[in-house]
Amino acid sequence: MKYDRIVIRYGEMSTKGRNRNKFIDKLKKSVKSALSTFPKIKIEASWDRMFVLLNGEDVQEIKEILKKIFGIQSFSPAVKVKQDLEEMKEAALELAGSLYQEGNTFKITAKRSDKTFELDTDGINQLFGAHLLKNIPGLKVDVKKPDINLLIEVRKEGVYLSCETIKGAGGYPAGSSGKAMLMLSGGIDSPVAGFMAMRRGLEIEAVHFFSPPFTSERSKEKVIDLAKKLAQVYGHITLHIVPFTDVQQAIREQVPENYTMTSTRRFMLKITDKIREKREGLAIITGESLGQVASQTLESMYTINEVTNTPILRPLISMDKTEIIKIAHEIDTLEISNRPYEDCCTIFVPASPKTKPRREKVRQYESFFDFDPLIEEAVTETETITIKPDRDTQTEFDELF
Ligand code: ATP
Ligand code: MG
């Protein structure tokens, strides 16, 4: 039996009342974008279901991709037939027959949203159950743990038959919550923060600070590889690479050593905020987790955060490193993050960075030099690239959510 479509059930957005149309529209766009390499498919959306019409495209490959799309509760490869008992019987038999292996058990699960249909759910269960028992010798009924659960869903426009319900990634569809800039380092945390933000429907653009020749091409490649993983979610991601060497050198010359880390963070945040403004984002996301390192104490955050009143989202704030590592492993970024690299923040790391830096102090240290031209230059010299996922390195993170 060849499935001719995939039925998609919406996630949490079903509860979103008036925003529903917007959500459906966003989900349709992300499905379309994620399946852009399958030219023959067509996508149809109705108020409570979406359908991917396969037109001969490979159902297995498409299933793997759909598992990763946020906003999908579950989905089922299915066959559609008319509201005609004979046609339905034939399709049911063909589908169950193609899956049947000796000794298998089955049950029928009927759903009827079209109440005008001639049979109710009990009637459907009985008729089709009897039909399969009669025509597939050896098949037995098991309503608790069947090997084959044949779902027969009677809707106004037709009847859908399927045998498999696959769990989706949940969350909200891409871009339904607005846009934010992800400060993406080559470390373990920030890619995980990006994934978690995307799961809530945020569209993200990544910003990476790069300090050649102190940071190598390899460390840039690493960030591009991480961005490729993030790009799997929506089919692409925009990455801004900020040349940061001059700002960092100026900091090193102007600011006392134990405050260079604080000051570096402040300028990174300031520059990210300028890029955000240009790109019309409404928030900045970081991979910070409270207390993890000197720059992530509450005092540090307070002092660094002074440079902007843009919301800073920190999805990992209360998580332990072991939990973060587990997710990094599941979304397949851990191995990339573990490659040795120099981050622009670690190259000039002071021996003892201030763990309780003060706003007045850092403000004063920064006041002896005009950083603005360097900041402006970093923003104008920023390289913006669109990253697409590597199809052949597609991985599974369906277990995660
Ligand atoms: P990560 O694993 O994400 O690098 P970390 O635990 O190493 O985090 P820090 O290096 O202190 O912590 O960085 C804190 C956050 O600052 C990062 O999660 C990231 O959001 C941002 N950040 C650090 N370095 C860079 C960089 N070179 N470019 C862009 N953002 C950065
Ligand atoms: Mg880091």
pLDDT, residue 317, reads 95
Burial of 242 (0-12, 13-18, 19+ CB in 10 A): buried
Separation between Cα atoms, residue 398 and residue 336, nearest integer Å: 19
The rounded distance, in Å, linking the Cα atoms of 165 and 385 is 38
Total Cβ atoms within 10 A of residue 253: 9
Q: Which atom of ligand 1 is nearest to the CA of 337?
A: 2
Flag whether 287 is marked binding. Answer: yes
Give alpha helix (H) positions in 178-284. Answer: 189-199, 217-234, 245-254, 260-279
* CA 295–ligand 1 middle distance (angstroms): 10
Predicted pLDDT of residue 13: 62
**pLDDT for 47-85, tens place per residue?**
889 999 999 999 999 999 999 899 999 999 999 999 999
Q: What is the pLDDT of residue 399?
A: 42
Between 343 and 262, name the one with better pLDDT. 262
Helix and strand totals (H; E) in the chain = 14, 15
Task: Looking at the CA of residue 182, tell me the nearest atom of ligand 1.
Answer: 20
Contact 79, 161 (CB under 8 A): yes
Q: Which residues line ligand 1 (CB under 6 A)?
A: 183-185, 187-190, 207-209, 286-288, 292-293, 295-296, 343-345
Residue nearest to atom 16 of ligand 1 (CA): 286
> What is the Cα–Cα distance from 98 to 22, expressed in whole angstroms?
39
Average pLDDT over the chain, rounded to an integer: 91
Percent share of the chain, pLDDT over 90: 77
For residue 241, the cross-strand partners are 208, 383
Confidence label for 393 from pLDDT (cuts 50, 70 and 90):
very low
For residues 127-152, one letter each, b for 16 or more C-beta atoms within 10 angstroms of the residue's C-beta and e for the rest, the string is: bbbebbeeebeebeeeeeebbbbbbb
Per residue in 336-387, pLDDT tens?
A: 999 987 776 666 677 788 889 999 999 999 999 999 999 999 999 999 999 9
Q: 157 pLDDT exceeds 70? A: yes
